């Protein structure tokens, strides 16, 4: 019996990228789980997998024992409600916490490799740093319910002794092809590109802290191809367990990002600073920087793409041509 790999959120941004990488490794016996929509399905074009199932049906099938007959090798659990402003807190609990608990217990009880997406949103405003040291988990204070739902599972896994058996990945600000369906949760690279193409300028939030000038708020932006390389490192190195940051360790400002997009398009920067909406003022992160020594100490040594080269490639190779990861055989 061929081993089966399950990717939840498989039609999404990172999930579809994982399938793309698995295909390059010759893996095609993949079950894709997601909640499809009229844009997201395009991420699956050109990818090879054996079946697709909606997330609620998948969970029912899992609980009923339908998948017990398969030799499941790995579950990549990337599926979640990733909006930071969804109005129903219980939705986060059901989708991001309880769903993950069920999958995790299923995997651990059957000795299935379980790799799940946590989030840099668990770090909150960064007061307690950005270390992926599991001893620091209880000190973190997420700023929104999305971050808290991810943090809640990290804590549950730790308190139940499961971080010695599974892998949690705290993704920072990932950008790149296949994020087109994410609406307001898309990276600012694509938002800047669209604003430039439609209005010739980009709007950035003003700063409300004296130590940050307008547009100088900092983020650890990571290109999707680097995030995928790091993710697949845990697929091929199965002895690694615990929580790890997926970032670069080198933050850039929104001003730098926007100017890089303008430069990629051969245009002069034109930036307007606007007021920040009230609903996000109290949960806005002014600074993120992934501590990466834990991952690097495990032997990860693939060079991280230069920030400006990554932005340029995304703009010129994908956005301007409306292309997806699977459109190129590379």
Rounded mean pLDDT of 6-17? 97
Residue 300, domain CATH: 3.40.50.720
With respect to residue 323, please indicate whether it lies within any of the assigned structural domains.
no
Q: Is residue 14 part of a domain?
A: yes
Q: Is residue 226 part of a domain?
A: yes
The share of the chain scoring above pLDDT 70, in percent, equals: 98
> pLDDT at position 284, please?
84
The residue annotated as part of the active site, out of 99, 146, 244, 314, is 146
Residue 66 CA: distances (Å) to CA of 70, 75, 231: 9, 16, 28
The answer to whether 193 is a known catalytic residue is no
Confidence band (pLDDT; 50, 70, 90) for 56?
A: very high
Give the model's confidence band at 245: pLDDT under 50 very low, under 70 low, under 90 confident, else very high: very high
Phi, psi torsion values for 247, nearest 5 degrees: -155, -160
2 confidence band (pLDDT: 50, 70, 90): confident
- Is 210 domain-assigned? no
When divided into structural domains, the chain yields a total of 1
Residue 242 lies in a domain: yes
Does any domain span residue 281?
Answer: no
| Per-residue pLDDT tens over the stretch 66-75 | 999 999 999 9
- Is 146 in the active site? yes
Residue 261 domain-assigned (yes or no): no
pLDDT for the residue 282: 78
Mean pLDDT value across residues 227-252? 98
Q: How far apart are the first and last CA of the chain?
A: 30
Please check whether residue 258 lies inside any domain of the structure: no
Given a cut of 90, whether residue 83 has pLDDT beyond it is no
Q: Report the pLDDT value the prediction gives residue 84, as an integer from 0 to 100.
A: 66
Banded model confidence at residue 184, pLDDT cuts 50, 70, 90: confident
Per residue in 30-49, pLDDT (tens digit) is: 999 999 999 999 999 999 99
C-alpha span between 48 and 68 (Å, rounded):
23
| 264/202 Cα distance (integer angstroms) | 14
% of the chain beyond a pLDDT of 90: 88
Question: Percentages helix, strand, coil for the chain, rounded to the nearest 5?
Answer: 45, 15, 40
Given pLDDT bands bounded at 50, 70 and 90, which one contains residue 1? Answer: low
Contact 173, 222 (CB under 8 A): yes
Output 184 or 116, whichever has higher pLDDT: 116
What pTM was estimated for this model as a whole? Answer: 0.95
Domain, as residue range, for 102: 4-176+220-249+286-305
Does residue 25 carry a pLDDT above 70? yes
For the chain, give the mean pLDDT. Answer: 95
Q: Which is catalytic among the residues 42, 182, 201, 317? A: 182
Q: Is the pLDDT of residue 186 over 80?
A: yes
């Amino acid at each position: 019996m061929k081993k089966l790999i399950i990717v939840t959120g498989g039609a999404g941004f990172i999930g579809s990228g994982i399938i793309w990488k698995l295909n390059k490794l010759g893996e095609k016996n993949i079950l894709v789980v997601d909640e499809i929509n009229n844009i997201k399905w395009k991420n699956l074009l050109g990818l090879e997998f054996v079946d697709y199932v909606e997330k609620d049906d998948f969970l029912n099938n899992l609980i009923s024992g339908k998948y017990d007959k398969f030799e499941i090798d790995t579950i990549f659990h990337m599926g979640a409600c990733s909006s930071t402003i969804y109005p129903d807190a219980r939705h986060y609990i059901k989708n991001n916490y309880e769903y993950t608990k069920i999958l995790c217990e299923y995997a651990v009880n059957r000795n299935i490799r379980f790799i799940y997406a946590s989030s840099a949103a668990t770090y909150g405003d960064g007061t307690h740093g950005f270390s992926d040291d599991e001893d620091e988990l209880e000190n973190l204070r997420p700023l929104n319910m999305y971050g808290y739902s991810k943090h809640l599972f990290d804590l549950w896994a730790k308190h139940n002794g499961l971080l010695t058996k599974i892998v949690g990945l705290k993704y920072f600000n990932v950008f790149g092809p296949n994020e087109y369906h994410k609406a307001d949760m898309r990276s600012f690279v694509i938002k800047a590109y669209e604003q430039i193409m439609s209005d010739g300028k980009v709007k950035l939030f003003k700063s409300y802290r004296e130590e940050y000038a307008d547009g100088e708020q900092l983020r650890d932006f990571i290109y999707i191809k680097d995030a995928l390389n790091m993710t697949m490192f845990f697929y091929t190195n199965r002895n690694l367990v615990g929580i790890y940051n997926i970032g670069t360790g080198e933050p850039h400002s929104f001003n730098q990002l926007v100017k890089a997009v303008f430069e990629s398009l051969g245009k002069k920067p034109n930036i307007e600073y606007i007021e920040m909406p009230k609903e996000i003022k109290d949960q806005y992160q002014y600074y993120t920087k992934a501590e990466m020594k834990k991952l690097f100490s495990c032997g990860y040594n693939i060079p991280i793409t230069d920030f400006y080269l990554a932005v340029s490639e995304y703009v010129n190779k994908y956005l301007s041509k409306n292309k997806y990861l699977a459109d190129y055989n590379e």
